[in-house]
Amino acid sequence: MEAADLITALYRSVGEACVTSPDIAHIEIHGNNVLGVHLVNGLHVDAQETEYGIDARITVDNGIQISHPIRICFGLIPEKGSQHISMDITIEDDAHVAIAASCSFPNAQEIVHSMDADIHVGKNARYAYLEKHVHGAAGGIRVIPKARITLDTGARFQTDFELIKGNAGTIEIEYDAICGAHSILDMSARISGRGTDTISIHEKADLVGEGSRAVLTTNIAVRDSAEARIKNTLIASAPYARGHVDCKEIVQGNARASAIPIVEVNHPKAHVTHEAALGSVDSKQLQTLMARGLDEDAATDLIIEGLLTRRR
């Protein structure tokens, strides 16, 4: 398949059109091939093809504010293969940027997709990384995203991992963030598991800077024989550090779910909280929708759809 056809296939598989606007930076990567790169002022990308993927260095220059989210499309169209993405991302001081990444494996039967990222967000910089996965129905995929994040003073970082369409397969998320003074971290994951999917999430934030804040949110729905294990850790070690860990999991059929929120405070002026709700669909929510004429299955689907919707 030609590069242009692969690009079209990747975007189409996530329900989107190819990016054509010159104002929008975009990068398309299929397997270990960089199919396309379009940059805008202040954005630098150095991508090297490796045996099983890409080593990429992404930098946004000091003070640059990129108005449109950068589109990155990863994926593999074939049924089998590996894709390992190694990324070194630096958002320099006062820069603002968002990346909207889609990861598409529509025909996956035996695929491994791993991401190993080092992310540094400079002073008063803002970085949002929104990652949307679309998998096929077979669930023959293992996804292993790992990221080490450092936030400088006043930095803001938001990440959102979405996997709602297709069978999740095996998901092993591991994010670890160190938050400097007055920085803000917002990490969320929204995943639907079915069949024999297994979902493992370990997000960790170290609030080491005075006045730093973090929210770790996980919304999961598992059905059939799927399994979800969530272990989120929040450690506050500085005055006025604030944090919250929130986990909601809806469990149906023979699915299983566990949540272990670990919260640790090492300073008398720090404060962290946690909340976890696991189990069946809330009875009142369900009955309210049934009292609108929806049968139990339709009402349940609607509640799960809401739970897995990205927060506004």
Partner 1 sequence: MDSKTILSIQRVTLSLGGKRILNDLTLDIWRGHVHAVIGPNGAGKSTLASTIMGLNGYREYSGDIYFESESLKDLTIDERARRGIGLAWQEPARYEGLTVETFISAGMSQTSGLGVDEALLAVGLDPDTYRQRAVDTTLSGGERKRIELASILSMKPRLVIMDEPDSGIDIDALNKIFEAIKTLRKLDSTVVLITHSLAVLRQADHAFLICCGRVVRKGSVSKIETYFGEKCIPCDHKNDPAEETENGSS
Q: How many residues bind partner 1 (CB under 8 A)?
A: 27
Smallest distance from partner 1 to CB 282, Å? 7
Buried b (16+ CB within 10 A) or exposed e, 291-306: eeeeeeeebbebbbee
C-beta of residue 226 within 8 angstroms of C-beta of residue 198: yes
**Residues 191 to 250 in contact with partner 1, rule: CB under 8 A:** 219, 248
Smallest distance from partner 1 to CB 218, Å? 12
C-beta of residue 185 within 8 angstroms of C-beta of residue 214: yes
Indicate whether 110 belongs to the interface with partner 1 (CB under 8 A).
no
Strands annotated E in the chain: 26-30, 33-38, 43-49, 53-60, 70-75, 80-91, 96-105, 110-121, 126-135, 141-151, 156-165, 170-179, 184-193, 198-207, 213-222, 227-236, 242-251, 256-265, 271-279
Indicate whether 266 belongs to the interface with partner 1 (CB under 8 A).
no
Smallest distance from partner 1 to CB 166, Å? 20
Indicate whether 14 belongs to the interface with partner 1 (CB under 8 A).
no
Q: How many residues does the chain have?
A: 312
Indicate whether 279 belongs to the interface with partner 1 (CB under 8 A).
no
Indicate whether 311 belongs to the interface with partner 1 (CB under 8 A).
yes
Name which position in 5, 23, 46, 305 contacts partner 1 (CB under 8 A): 305
Indicate whether 290 belongs to the interface with partner 1 (CB under 8 A).
yes
Indicate whether 8 belongs to the interface with partner 1 (CB under 8 A).
no
Indicate whether 255 belongs to the interface with partner 1 (CB under 8 A).
no
Report d(CA 263, CA 271) in Å as an integer.
Answer: 10
Residue type, 223: R
By CB under 8 A, which span of 103-111, 142-150, 162-170, 295-303 interacts with partner 1?
Answer: 295-303
Indicate whether 189 belongs to the interface with partner 1 (CB under 8 A).
no
Report d(CA 263, CA 164) in Å as an integer.
Answer: 28
C-beta of residue 159 within 8 angstroms of C-beta of residue 130: yes
Smallest distance from partner 1 to CB 162, Å? 12
Q: What phi and psi, each to the nearest 5 degrees, are found at residue 307?
A: -60, -35
- 171 exposure class (CB count in 10 Å sphere: 0-12, 13-18, 19+): buried
Indicate whether 278 belongs to the interface with partner 1 (CB under 8 A).
no
Indicate whether 163 belongs to the interface with partner 1 (CB under 8 A).
no
Indicate whether 18 belongs to the interface with partner 1 (CB under 8 A).
no
Report d(CA 78, CA 109) in Å as an integer.
Answer: 9
Q: Give whichever of 90 and 300 is closer to partner 1, judged by the CB atom.
A: 300
Indicate whether 280 belongs to the interface with partner 1 (CB under 8 A).
no
Report d(CA 7, CA 233) in Å as an integer.
Answer: 38
Indicate whether 5 belongs to the interface with partner 1 (CB under 8 A).
no
Indicate whether 275 belongs to the interface with partner 1 (CB under 8 A).
no
Q: Give whichever of 266 and 273 is closer to partner 1, judged by the CB atom.
A: 273
Find, among 38, 14, 40, the residue nearest to 28 by Cα. 38
- In this structure, the strands spanning 26-30 and 33-38 are antiparallel
Q: Give whichever of 83 and 219 is closer to partner 1, judged by the CB atom.
A: 219
Q: Give whichever of 48 and 309 is closer to partner 1, judged by the CB atom.
A: 309
- Binding residues (CB under 8 A) for partner 1: these are 219, 248, 282-285, 287-296, 299, 302-303, 305-312
